[in-house]
Structure 1
């Protein structure tokens, strides 16, 4: 993905009014282009599994901005570590030693 497109998505969220940060369709488009844009979305959408999955599939590190409840969701965690194995530090403790998660992150169990 072109770096300028990613930056544009983040900029759009930064300058967006509160209603845009809560607009699921708008937010989905932004996080699909730049998962890190999850940092700027309304808290209510950081608990939305569809939004968070889209973000971590694009950029695993976006997991750090996800609601705690989704950091312990195995599907979300697997998507994040498959994209970037270095995100284990943001994974809920209950899954840090899960064999499937560890293997997906490219580590030895």
Structure 2
């Protein structure tokens, strides 16, 4: 898709086929297709960092962001602010990929239950906990 003509980058069927096999193809798709929920969901399932290219309204979509985080924990960076501070949503994310704690709201990095769920998934997530909690859990 990277070297495709612009009209192909705007063709929904071509872009959908491309992201189904290679999620990062979203990076080269036309911007107007980045609000297409099906394309974005397919893309982030294959390549979580492709969430960066999604339209803002889809960065608030629980299913899309959760799929991105499951594929790539650091995809939480591109999630809408309200999701990063939503306790229940962040809990779902850290259970799928503990590394998503890195981009969670600061107040949730001090939440013992969230941090424990994150490190249960990936012990390296402890480095992202608030200082006082990190020292307590070592």
Q: Give the TM-score of the pair, scaled to structure 1.
A: 0.80
Task: Say whether 1:57 aligns with 2:49.
Answer: no
Q: Supply the distance in 2 between the matched residues of 1:59 and 1:103 (Cα, whole angstroms).
A: 19
Secondary structure in structure 2 of the residue aligned to 1:89: helix
Q: Which residue of 2 aligns with 1:75?
A: 63
Q: 2:93 aligns with which of 83, 101, 106?
A: 101
Higher RCO (CA < 8 A, seq sep 6+): 1
Gaps of 5+ in 1: 1-12
Measured in 1, the distance between the counterparts of 2:31 and 2:80 equals 18
Moved >4 Å (runs of 4+): none
Note if contact 1:96-1:102 (Cα within 8 Å) is conserved in structure 2: no
Q: How many residues align?
A: 97
Matched, 1:24 2:12: yes
Q: Which runs of 5+ in 2 are unaligned?
A: 102-112, 115-138
Q: Determine which structure has more spread, i.e. the larger CA radius of gyration.
A: 2
The match for 2:80 is: 92
* TM-score, with length taken from structure 2: 0.65
